[in-house]
Chain A
Amino acid sequence: MARDSQAALVALNRFGFGARGGASGDLINAASDPRGFVKAELARPSGVLLEAPGLQSTPQLGQAVFAYQDQVKQAREAAAKAVAPTEAQPAQTPADQKPGLRRNLSLNTVATEIAGQMTEAKPTDNKPADNAMKPDAMQPAIAPPAAKAAPQPLNVIQKTFRAEALARLQRATLVDCGFTERLVVFWSNHFCISASKGELARMWAGAFEREAIRPHVLGRFADMLKAVEQHPAMLFFLDNQQSLGPDSRAGQNRKRGLNENLAREIMELHTLGVGGGYTQEDVTSLARIITGWTFAGRQGQLGVPGSFVFNTNAHQPGPQMLLGKTYEATGLSQGEAALADIARHPATANFVATKFVRHFVADDPPQPLVARLRDVFVKTDGDLKALATALVDSDEAWQAPLTKMRSPYDFVIASGRLLARVPEDPGGYLNNLNLLGQPLWTPAGPNGFPDTSAAWAAPEGMKLRLDIASQMGARLGNNIDPLDLLEFAAADAASVETRRTIERAESRQQALALLLMSPEMQRR
């Protein structure tokens, strides 16, 4: 079969996470049948699910957070009671450790001292992109400050976040093309939550994606929408557990009422889009309709702690008018019916199709392709597999030049794949994502991370990418032949200039950094 390396580049980079190094043969396989290579993953819907030993369900995770919070509270109370005896515990410096410590100092202190100097010297280097972020799971790879000897053991929330992150990173590194994983990332960002909201959000970030996004990535949009808006992580992220129907029993008793946050974002960000034909009255109406959508708390009065529940006591009674239609007072199903209608609203089809094409094809999405995908969405009642298939079948997706910029996540995953390194520890990845402004599952707002080249090709961003690539080169360049990697990554689709730049590098380390930063690796 004829080999088309340029089409293979589109298959692997535009639709997937880039070619894997080693013996994968990705580029050759993609070149012999580019469309088939991309679509192969669509035939295996169960392959989108992510199950790994130790990953728990949302209620289990919620209960673990409640238990952890109780523990912290008890410890704090106990400490407050035992005011005086600080001397009673001569801290963690028993005499017998001293010689040992001193012995180890040779390596230990130098490392920390120097690290301390470096940190002082360049205080901005290690600053997480998001101030709200806690210096915990997202920063595991940074050396402990010079003053603190023993690193704090990770708490259950940090451990969970890292385990969820690792499972996702490993999956992305190992999959053949990565198209379905890219779809997961797309939908997860479309329906994003942010781990910075609080301990529950951090704990649930991975489970949310596993439970609400993945099962529907090749299913129906309406099902994903319902799963998302009823997921405890989303209800917590956008405050719906606090929203009470003003005329509900709870609202009356507690003199509190609506919180429109979730209702507004459902229409503005998840379905219809700005200008999608809804009014403020519709927002308020949807907010009333979904009052009572919440999750059971630690006491478990409403249900299994940490699980979705419909709390009739908080639900606004009576029928509601939304987008010109009346929804009778049927409790939980009132909101479910409203979501089902919003999911198949023409504005939703248009919003989703536009965003989809912008993500995969071009910042300025070709309108004929958008129109076609919109029609597919409408005709198939929001079949997302049909949507993805139509995208791959289109000519535009293969003809548009590779001008999209890889997001930081795409970049670190593509680099790991090319170097054939399956992550064993998420620390380095999480750090790099922080530095590059795309902390995992932690966008700054409910609109998710940006999806245009301008956002990711900003000057500081490019400089940081280069620093990170250079560091990967220093660490890994020793053992690899950069020209072999270029063959894996682009073969004869690589430009003469890129090939020459790599050939002429002064060291393998530098060659690897330049390869990772080449347009072939940065654009998709």
Chain B
Amino acid sequence: MIDCVENRLLTSRRGLLLGGASFAAWAYLPKFARAADGRDPRLVVVILRGALDGLATVAPIGDPDYAGLHGSIALTADGAHPAIMLDSFFALHPSMPEFARMYRDQHAAVVHAVATPYRDRSHFDGQDVLESGYAGPGRVQSGWLNRALEALPRGERVSSGLAVGPTTPLVLRGNAPTVGWAPVALPQADDDTAMRLVELYRHRDPMLASALSQGLQLEKAASGDDMKPKPGNQVAQMRQVARGAAKLMAADDGPRIAALAFDGWDTHANEGGPIGRLAFLLSGLDGALAEFESGLGDRWRETVVVVATEFGRTARINGTDGTDHGTGTVALLAGGAVKGGRVISDWPGLKLANLFEARDLKPTTDLRSVIKGVLQDRFGLSDRVLAETVFPDSASARPMKGLVA
């Protein structure tokens, strides 16, 4: 009955939902949330679609090969926009001051040289692996987070009302019921999509190229400097989705577990260094994390936010000041429950011989171990459930211990 109502609402609002970001949450309160020990954990999974450049987000400044490989876009510890040193070796992108503060307060951590088991370089397949939790791509219609929820005692239903939202990200799709929500307004297509389309039109349809370019310029003129957060642009949208999601999750009867997806990380050209396109996106992500912190209030103490992407990017920049599809990258953890203040890495080094296929950061940590560690610490899932149901055939990727305080 309730599901019918939700479906109807979804249908009637389908017209105008947010494009560049999406949010979905579990509809039930886990049984133990109100148990005697008072633990009431919250978990947010943020998927960055398009493949985040981990070497630009958390730069191995101490690696002698880094500056040469990342060339014109490499971060430095000095200069006009110095990267923020996390330790003596790794430095955080300067457009993430909030994450840096959380890190200093030991509520944020970085896992570096991490990857899913996927070793090819297709976004679609890579995202399938990241979200489905299976070892290889395939058309599985459920995600690891949903299967983790299925393994939990269900408890009571929360947030009985409105369920508005675009499609649920694969990671949270499956048998366990979820609700979705998204700000309602006509969103703008992101710049990356627009640029790709202009490029296609330039080759195939010059008249449409000129019309669309003009239209985009009009839009820019209307919203001013594109690099500043303005209502409606991507940075503002990311914050907005996070703010809404945090508000929902902060309620006594709000969802405890949620997933979001942010698009636009496929920085093939003009990626930018301390300022530029990636910097712009990272500031949006940083803002979103800050929104979760402030929006969750007291609940932040019980929260873990996991930020993950389908794969990394080439260690060496390409001919257009960007990076191509790669392998190893970073995963970020933030939240009051994170045992933070550290970069967790078995650093493989960036010497040519140490690169994966002589081009990518070699993954030394399985992303599944990180996530399994969080799920085990937070929700008490057994090794067996994690290795067979949540991440099938992942027994070799042992849950990482001690990620959560």
Binding site for B on A (CB under 8 A): 103-108, 110-111, 114-115, 117-119, 121-122, 125-126, 140-143, 424-425, 427-432, 435, 453, 457-464, 466-471, 473-476, 478-479, 481, 495, 497-498, 501, 504-511, 513-514, 517-519, 522-523
Contacts and interface: CB of A to CB of B under 8 A. Distances in A.
B181 A514 contact: no
B369 interface: no
Contacts of B218: 459-460, 463
Contact of A501 (B124, B160, B199, B264): B199
A519 to B, nearest CB: 4
Contacts of B185: 115, 118-119, 122, 125-126
Given A141-B12, A469-B189, A498 B204 contact: yes
Contacts of B49: 506-507, 509
Contact of B166 (A107, A117, A475, A508): A475
B246 to A, nearest CB: 9
Interface in B1-35: 11-20, 22
A510 B49 CA distance: 10
Contact of B211 (A105, A117, A462): A462
Contact of A459 (B22, B170, B211): B211
Contacts of A114: 183-184, 240, 243-244
B250 to A, nearest CB: 8
B358 interface: no
B162 A104 contact: yes
Interface string B39-76: 00000000001110000000000000000000000000
A119 B231 CA distance: 10
B163 A425 contact: no
Interface in B258-299: 263-266
A471 B204 contact: no
A459 B214 contact: yes
17 contacts: A105-B251, A106-B158, A106-B161, A110-B247, A111-B162, A118-B183, A119-B185, A125-B186, A143-B13, A459-B212, A467-B19, A467-B186, A470-B19, A474-B166, A475-B166, A510-B192, A510-B196
B208 interface: yes
A479 B211 CA distance: 31
A122 B231 contact: yes
B124 A108 contact: no
B167 A476 contact: yes
A432 B14 CA distance: 11
Contacts of B20: 470, 474
A478 B211 contact: no
Contacts of A462: 208, 211-212, 215
B186 A111 contact: no
B50 A506 contact: yes
A430 B49 CA distance: 30
Contacts of A108: 161-162
Contacts of A111: 162, 164, 181, 183-184, 244
B205 A510 contact: no
Contacts of B123: 505-508
A466 B197 CA distance: 9
A437 to B, nearest CB: 13
A435 B186 CA distance: 9
Contact of A470 (B14, B159, B163, B189): B189
Given A506-B263, A522-B208, A142 B16 contact: yes
Which 4 pairs from chain A and chain B are nearest by CB? Answer: A141-B15, A121-B231, A506-B266, A463-B215
B405 interface: no
B197 A471 contact: no
Contacts of B201: 519
A474 B22 contact: yes
Given A118-B232, A462-B215, A474-B19, 10 more contacts: A106-B254, A107-B162, A111-B164, A141-B16, A459-B213, A470-B189, A501-B197, A501-B200, A507-B124, A507-B263
Nearest to B252: A106
Nearest to A474: B19
Interface in B154-191: 158-164, 166-170, 179, 181, 183-190
Nearest to B219: A463
Given A457-B208, A467-B187, A518-B200, A424 B11 contact: yes
Nearest to B199: A501
B235 interface: no
Contacts of B16: 126, 141-143, 428, 431, 471
B321 interface: no
Contacts of B124: 481, 507-508, 511
A460 B50 CA distance: 27
A143 B184 contact: yes
B127 interface: yes
A118 B232 CA distance: 7
